[in-house]
Copies of this chain bind each other. A is one copy, B any other.
Amino acid sequence: MSFFDSLVVSIFCIALVFFVLISLFALIALFSKVLAAAAAKPGKTSVQVAQTAMQPEAVPQNMEGPDLSTGKLKLKGVDEKTAAMIMAIVSHESSIPLSELRFKSIRAIEEK
């Protein structure tokens, strides 16, 4: 492959790389706008409700492939500071060292 060929190929390739990534830019920008527009409208609640009905609370032990993510703590409606405090309190109250407790998620109990 001559130098000139290499050069042409290279220019072509880098142009193509730009073309693909610019197209992706356009796609993402477009999608973000479409999704933002869609999000403006409400209407997801009915789905949520149906979903909840489908998952009764009682979960038989060990049957469902328990969530075994490595030690991620999910916080719902609680900030991280509060969560740390809760964990420390639980540990103290129960005399169980924190290293032995595993918290899967901490969520605020909504008052109704």
Contacts and interface: CB of A to CB of B under 8 A. Distances in A.
A73 interface: yes
A97 B68 contact: no
Interface stretch (A10-18, A23-31, A35-43, A80-88): A80-88
Contacts of A101: 90, 101-104
Interface residues of A, number: 36
14 contacts: A70-B71, A71-B102, A83-B98, A83-B99, A84-B91, A87-B98, A87-B99, A88-B98, A89-B94, A90-B101, A96-B103, A100-B104, A100-B106, A101-B101
Nearest to A95: B109
Contacts of A103: 96, 99-102
Given A68-B71, A71-B70, A72-B66, A107 B100 contact: yes
The 7 A-B residue pairs with the shortest CB-CB distance in the complex, in nearest-first order: A84-B97, A80-B97, A102-B102, A73-B99, A84-B98, A88-B88, A90-B94
A105 interface: yes
